[in-house]
A and B are shown apart, each in its own frame.
Chain A
Amino acid sequence: MWNYSDKLKEHFFNPKNAGVLEEANAVGEVGSISCGDALRLMLQVEPETQVIQDARFQTFGCGSAIASSSALTEMIIGKTVEEALQVTNKDIADYLEGLPPEKMHCSVMGAEALRAAIANYRGEEWVDDHEEGELICKCFGVDAAMIERAVEVNALTSLEQVTNYTKAGASCKTCHEKIEDLLESLLAKQGKVPEPVAAKAPAAPALVGLGDIAPLAAPEAAKPATPAKKLSNVQRMQIVIAALEEMRPYLKQDGGDVELVDIDGKNIYVRLSGACSGCQMASVTIEGIQTKLVEKLGELVRVIPHTMMAAE
């Protein structure tokens, strides 16, 4: 059982402003059924005064998510839109007398829904920054793509720097190993190794507003990132075929061979043959091919023996 504050429990067991707001003129919907948290925030804004007259919510999620939604509505009713925009996820967590570190994302979802609703009210398109890819830091909702971007743009080389730039790992620390592994693989591409932990690591930034969590602000001195050129499927396939051709002479020297069977997104299926087929070192060969393809494609892919392909 999580160690929830009495205030949080009160907002979970007796949520305020739950349900549909028929008169809503601002609706923000954020979250993901796959992540287990989704929130629809409905506001009724008085156009002349810009005051939020009423707010209601519907939440799919855990106790913290429901309580954060309830708290958010209580916090913003009576505020102007501009005042409401100053509400951060930390404010929501503070209002609830704290959230367990692993549950901070619930307050982030509330802050995001608020911004989405206000954008909806203003007729703006609200684009969130939640990217595809493995979620690395669950406390702050930081995924692998965001860390990769931060590392590349800012030439980060240590866990502490990643935390300072993205907040990933600043809370419960359970993702530190994952961050370290990711950092190691990213630096390996550049022929670098991660820096050891500094004797005096810079303090992690305080929990602040959503704006600090969302878009990664590059330091002034740093050059803006050059967006990676997105390869077409044909280009990817050509690169894969060329890379395999490069490797085949080496495998043939050992009496083996490899051929491409299929490419399914990030999964690249290959067939080992000759001495490579059934070799006790086959997994090492597969790993070597994978390393080569990752290097050539500049993206993380998985090389899988064709025997592992899903049956039709």
Chain B
Amino acid sequence: MGIYLDNNATTRVDPAVVAEMMPFFTEHFGNPSSMHGYGAAVGGKIEWARGEVQKLIGAAFDTEIVFTSGGTESDSTAILSALKAYPKRREIVTSVVEHPAILSLCDFLESKEGYRIHRIPVDGKGNLDLERYEAALSENVAVVSIMWANNETGTIFPIELLAGMAKKVGALFHTDAVQAVGKLPMDLANSAIDMLSLSGHKLHAPKGIGALYVKRGVRFRPMLRGGHQERGRRAGTENAPAIVGLGKACELARESLPIERTQVAALRDRLETALVEAIPNCFVTGNPANRLPNTANIAFEFIEGEAILLLLNEEGIAASSGSACTSGSLEPSHVMRAMGVPYTAAHGATRFSLSRDTTAEEVDTVIRVMPGIIERLRKLSPYWTGQGAAAGFQPVYS
């Protein structure tokens, strides 16, 4: 077995989740909309799952949970619903470090639909510029969409504060909480948050299932119209096994929340401290004082992320890079650039994201092999002298 430290990308489906799902493929296979016993059994379990999602995020009512195909669908539904519900408001507020599920949609709405998008910048640690945020809010804003925690650095935004500010101008507040759900305690019943997106595969449920929380009383316009499923808010036959899996995953996540904040955070800190001590010219990105307990994003200067990942993979270690070449794009991560991380380091930013399954032995293995990998690649780099940046290397189109 390898060492899997890419849990912000996706998590291993918990065996208990799989066990809960299995009967809903072969035994309880009815359509929950059907008026016979086959359907009723499935329908009842879906409502159980809805209750589990409700409990994990602290929603007041289970009817506030709409099952979707995942985070991207939840995000799109939330924003498009708000725009349709408030057609006279033609502005959207978001941040520069959002997931592409938000950024790409906003780009489209701006260029093709004529909406005005306020993209709020962040500082060097990934904290939102609150003054710019406040300045962007007006009665022209239909919806604010700010992520709860950043997927690359783990930096947490002051989401309650942001939601409260949005409410003052009558804008709907949506948060993409895909990375935060299951890692941070939540109490939506007592918050100003109107909508929240979550994704199953980030918390040990399968891919292709997620949910959108819509606070009772919030105007809602469905993205998918058709049948009456999900109380008419998301048409389409329910993905029953996955919904059941998400329900079980939420139950397990609620039980393991304390582990995230103690055990997982301690292992993350151990990994991070050891790497930064052992390897010159590297630094932790994001806000170390306020971030997800499982995420360590370290920028290694003068080398490129994909090369790091390939060598880590040879050691049986899976991590992630915001760089570039991993995604087929030449640009380094938009999050690193937004934080002002210089190109020399942004390309070498490497993310280790742990889970409740991560062990101390696994972390120690990474601590052992990483210095050699970085040294090996730096020996190949024209920007590296042995102590730091090489002077005089100025390629033609730099």
Contacts and interface: CB of A to CB of B under 8 A. Distances in A.
B396 A29 contact: yes
A30 interface: yes
Interface residues of B, number: 46
A32 B304 CA distance: 12
B314 interface: yes
Interface stretch (B59-67, B176-184, B320-328): B320-328
Interface in A48-84: 58-66
Contacts of A281: 90
A40 B382 contact: yes
A102 B324 CA distance: 11
Nearest to A286: B116
B330 A138 contact: yes
A6 interface: no
A126 B114 CA distance: 45
Contacts of A181: 111
Interface in A124-166: 126-128, 130, 135, 138
A58 to B, nearest CB: 4
Contact of B398 (A32, A58, A66, A283): A32
B303 interface: yes
Given A15-B380, A62-B324, A33 B307 contact: no
A307 B135 contact: yes
Nearest to A9: B310
B273 interface: no
Contacts of B380: 15, 18-19, 58-59, 66
Contacts of A13: 310-311, 314
B86 to A, nearest CB: 11
Contact of A278 (B138, B310, B381, B396): B138
Contacts, number: 127
Interface size range of chain A in the complex: 35 or more
A240 to B, nearest CB: 21
Contacts of B324: 36, 62
A29 B393 contact: yes
A127 B328 CA distance: 27
Contacts of B329: 138
Of B332, B347, B395, chain A has the most CB atoms within 10 Å of the CB of: B395
A62 B328 contact: no
Nearest to B121: A310
B347 A287 contact: no
Given A38-B383, A58-B382, A59-B380, A283 B116 contact: yes
Contacts of A280: 88-90, 140
Contacts of A34: 343, 398
Nearest to B314: A13
Contacts of B116: 282-283, 286
B115 interface: yes
B326 to A, nearest CB: 8
Nearest to A284: B114
Given A31-B395, A33-B343, A283 B330 contact: no
A280 B88 CA distance: 7
Contacts of B89: 280
Contacts of A105: 330
A129 B311 CA distance: 33
Interface of B: 88-91, 111, 114-116, 118, 131, 135, 138, 140, 302-307, 310-311, 313-314, 323-326, 328-332, 343-344, 347, 379-383, 393-398
28 contacts: A13-B314, A29-B393, A30-B395, A33-B347, A33-B398, A36-B331, A36-B347, A39-B395, A58-B381, A59-B381, A60-B303, A60-B347, A61-B325, A62-B305, A63-B306, A63-B307, A64-B325, A65-B325, A66-B380, A127-B396, A135-B330, A174-B328, A280-B88, A282-B116, A283-B91, A283-B114, A284-B114, A286-B116
